[in-house]
Amino acid sequence: MTDARTRMRRGRAALAFSFFAQGAAFALLVTRIPAIQDRYGISDALLPVFLAAVPVLAGIASVGTEHLVRRVRPSHVLRWSQPVVLLALLGVGAGETVAEVAVALGAFGLAVGALDASMNMLGVSLQRAYGRSIMLGFHAAYSLGGIVGATLAWVGAHGQLPLFVSYLPVVVVLLPAALAGSRWYADATASPGEPAETGDQGKASPASPVVFRLLLPLCLVMTFAYIGDSTVSNWSAKYLQDVLGSSEQLATVPYNVYMVTTLLGRSLGDLGVRRFGAVAVVRAGTVLAAVGFAVVAGAPGAWTGMLGFTLLGLGLCVLVPQTFAAAGRLFPGASDAAVARLNVFNYVGFLIGSPLVGSLGDAWDYRAAMLVPMVLVLVTLLYAHSFAPDPVQDPAPASSTPEPAETPAPGSAEGPAR
């Protein structure tokens, strides 16, 4: 059992690094969009097409990953999709023509969809094997990576470095580290030291079906959470400067504050789930996020608006990790398929959020527009019962076991993929 525990800890650390690397890569891409537009001469009319293509392709790849993991383990998908993401990021900075950057962004989008789905599949399976909440910790690593990536992007922009020069050192460091860590990824297809269950053709045994009607509440929660998240990432700076009258320098602060509070909330979130239960944490996060949007909408000045975005980070940060975890509990025999389908609604929310708030703000009022994601996030309260743990699959809320369980949960694994 000691070897099994060691393998689980290594798998957990390796997966956390994968989340970190993905957060850094994504931040390096999205925070340098103006530089990408300038380098390739992409018009303002064409830019939204490029930006929308990435999440659309990611959603397609997430659906494909559901079918792919029936034949190969999620760890294999993650092992090879992460290098493609990093190399595609480098390709974005290395191209010369619009066609070349389109290919690079297309590869980035497809690889990100497979990466996001497989990372969360492994996270859900590891949480089941541990027998306690650890999912928020993985997403905390993603937030930390996002902060590091955004900081490096600022350094590159401040130093007027070419995109390729900015991206190359990051890829040189993260790519070999991710490949080295990938040998410790832990799948949920077999118990430690045993081969995966296979059918007559050597393929993974068919899992129990995912009933979309049962998954739908979690899909809605995921969509609304990402509508809120994309509202902050796309409109916080403009809102602070144009509506609340802040300086251009101060307008860059809310998103950084949001990222830091997201990291803080996720770092402590697993402790909250173990102490109070997932339902209570999701309800508290929902209410806190709604209060944050209300404060932003009614803020008399920039500093009050900053407080609202701080509350948003603390509230929204718990919803996405807990939604993935809930999907794994809801379909313990088909958690990979459930996670892959749920992951698609990550991109749906991302696609809807920014244009929704922007169009309402232009046609109506930006303060009133901030109330729309507030109402959508509050819908999560109607579905909070979907986050209730199954006592067979999940521990009691107050569980604080410091080590992995001696006996893994049914269908889970502790060893690295072979």
pLDDT in tens, 251-301: 778 888 888 999 999 999 999 999 999 999 999 999 999 999 999 999 999
pLDDT in tens, 355-379: 888 888 888 888 999 999 999 999 9
Query: What confidence tier does 396 reach under pLDDT thresholds 50, 70, 90?
Result: very low
Query: What confidence tier does 110 reach under pLDDT thresholds 50, 70, 90?
Result: very high
Structural domain includes residue 414: no
- Neighbouring-strand partners of residue 204: 198
Residues 220 and 191 in one domain: no
pLDDT in tens, 53-69: 999 999 999 999 999 99
Distance CA 123, CA 335 (A): 11
Query: What confidence tier does 188 reach under pLDDT thresholds 50, 70, 90?
Result: low
Distance CA 134, CA 417 (A): 20
pLDDT in tens, 63-102: 999 999 999 999 999 999 999 999 999 999 999 999 999 9
Query: What confidence tier does 125 reach under pLDDT thresholds 50, 70, 90?
Result: very high
Structural domain includes residue 71: yes
Residues 228 and 144 in one domain: no
Residues 173 and 312 in one domain: no
Q: Which pLDDT value is given to residue 247?
A: 80
Query: What confidence tier does 51 reach under pLDDT thresholds 50, 70, 90?
Result: confident
Burial (CB count within 10 angstroms: exposed 0-12, middle 13-18, buried 19+), residue 364: exposed
Residues 232 and 326 in one domain: yes
Least confident interval from 54-63, 166-175, 235-244, 310-319: 235-244
Residues 46 and 149 in one domain: yes
Residues 25 and 170 in one domain: yes
Instruction: Tell me the average pLDDT of the chain.
Output: 85
Residues 228 and 93 in one domain: no
Least confident interval from 29-33, 89-93, 207-211: 207-211
The answer to whether 389 and 277 are in contact (CB under 8 A) is yes
User: Dihedral (C-alpha) 51, 178, 326, 380: value to the nearest 10 degrees?
Assistant: -30
Q: Which has more pLDDT, 198 or 349?
A: 349
The answer to whether 162 and 169 are in contact (CB under 8 A) is no
Q: Which region, left, alpha or beta, applies to residue 285 given φ > 0 means left and ψ of -120 to 50 means alpha?
A: alpha
Q: Could you tell me what percent of the chain has a pLDDT over 90?
A: 60
* Mean pLDDT value across residues 139-163: 90
Angle between helices 163-181 and 135-158 (to 10 degrees): 150
Q: Which pLDDT value is given to residue 390?
A: 57
Distance CA 182, CA 81 (A): 11
Q: Which has more pLDDT, 141 or 362?
A: 141
Query: What confidence tier does 208 reach under pLDDT thresholds 50, 70, 90?
Result: low
- At which of 133, 163, 195 does a domain end? 195
Highest mean pLDDT among 139-143, 186-190, 246-250: 139-143
Structural domain includes residue 202: no
Residues 121 and 160 in one domain: yes
Structural domain includes residue 256: yes
Query: H-type helices in 246-397, by residue range?
Result: 248-251, 253-276, 278-298, 302-316, 319-330, 335-363, 366-369, 371-378
Distance CA 384, CA 381 (A): 5
Q: Which has more pLDDT, 284 or 193?
A: 284
Distance CA 61, CA 66 (A): 9
Q: Which pLDDT value is given to residue 118?
A: 96
- At which of 132, 163, 195 does a domain end? 195
Domain that residue 228 falls in:
210-400
Q: Which pLDDT value is given to residue 24?
A: 94
Residues 375 and 350 in one domain: yes
Burial (CB count within 10 angstroms: exposed 0-12, middle 13-18, buried 19+), residue 24: buried
Using the predicted structure, report yes or no on whether residue 13 has a pLDDT greater than 60. yes
Structural domain includes residue 314: yes
The three-class DSSP label of residue 196 is: coil
Residues 187 and 105 in one domain: yes
Least confident interval from 82-96, 179-193, 343-357: 179-193
Q: Which pLDDT value is given to residue 253?
A: 80
Distance CA 405, CA 101 (A): 47
Residues 68 and 118 in one domain: yes
Query: H-type helices in 131-194, by residue range?
Result: 135-158, 163-181
Using the predicted structure, report yes or no on whether residue 1 has a pLDDT greater than 60. no
Q: Which pLDDT value is given to residue 148?
A: 92
Using the predicted structure, report yes or no on whether residue 395 has a pLDDT greater than 50. no
Please state the domain count of the chain. Answer: 2
The CATH number of residue 149's host domain is: 1.20.1250.20
Residues 382 and 279 in one domain: yes
Q: Which has more pLDDT, 108 or 158?
A: 108
Structural domain includes residue 408: no
Using the predicted structure, report yes or no on whether residue 196 has a pLDDT greater than 80. no
Q: Which pLDDT value is given to residue 2?
A: 62
Using the predicted structure, report yes or no on whether residue 155 has a pLDDT greater than 70. yes
The answer to whether 74 and 340 are in contact (CB under 8 A) is no
Structural domain includes residue 54: yes
Structural domain includes residue 405: no
Q: Which has more pLDDT, 17 or 252?
A: 17
pLDDT in tens, 295-331: 999 999 999 999 999 999 999 999 999 999 999 998 8
Q: Which pLDDT value is given to residue 156?
A: 87
